[in-house]
Amino acid sequence: MPYETIRLDVDGGVAVLTIDRPEVRNAINRQMVDEMHAALGRLEADPTVHALILTSSGGKAFMSGADIAELRDRRSADALEGINANLFARLERFPRPTVAAIVGWCLGGGCELALCCDYRIVGTSSRFGQPEVGLGIMAAAGATRRLPALIGLAAARRLLMTGALIDAQEALALGLVDRVVADEETLTSARAWLEPILAQAPAAVQGTKRALQAWVHGASETELLALDNEIQSELFEHPDKFARMDAFLAKRAKKKE
């Protein structure tokens, strides 16, 4: 399908999804939600895609949050539909590694979107916050779960209940982001961050992500043990396991010669 609010490019096994509404600081609206669902569906079905980078256009905002003009008219039934929350949960479940490359404002739904990625590489101009309470609503697309899991309950309370804004360095100190770089280096740094991950066995990386997510979402010890065994049983039969172990053994034998 043609996209109007995003761009999607795939190169060398890495997909780059660019949020593209710079005229409104990349605010998310229903059209963007629908287009991102379509893009994720395409990528999920493509076995040649091994990682996803989420970035934005314009240089001033990763995403400034929801489109307030549209959000103003949403009612109770819209909240129960979980329009943004379902999209963000789908991104979190995306089976391959994900990195958000962030420049500028990352607020409200934008911050919640970034929390769904496995990693966050950010420019020095980046600013983060959950200002929803100042608009009479709450951060209801996952931040009340994902933020405390990432930075701890006390820090999450401050951001979620005061609407405070923090800069890139404070976000790094809190553990909200993984690396701070110059704004113009965010996308290349995100690609570099992925390099050691992409060098590993793709199925093993995906299985590890699946197990970690189960722990994050509160699976019991019994469930986690069963899942680890299930994933490992699949990997034990995977051709990549035999090829990589054979290569390791051959290399070791050669060293002994």
3-state class of 45 per DSSP?
Answer: coil
CA distance 52 to 116: 12
- Asked if residue 86 lies in contact with residue 68, where contact means CB atoms within 8 angstroms, the answer is no
CA distance 27 to 65: 5
Q: 112 catalytic, yes or no?
A: yes
- Asked if residue 168 lies in contact with residue 125, where contact means CB atoms within 8 angstroms, the answer is yes
CA distance 19 to 36: 9
The CA distances from residue 180 to 65, 197, 228, in Å, are 21, 19, 33
The CA distances from residue 97 to 49, 64, 79, 211, 234, in Å, are 10, 24, 29, 13, 19
- Asked if residue 179 lies in contact with residue 193, where contact means CB atoms within 8 angstroms, the answer is yes
Structure-token match 């404002």, residue found? 105
From the candidates 23, 70, 92, 112, give the one annotated as an active-site residue: 112
CA distance 118 to 209: 9
From the candidates 4, 23, 35, 132, give the one annotated as an active-site residue: 132
Active site residues: 112, 132
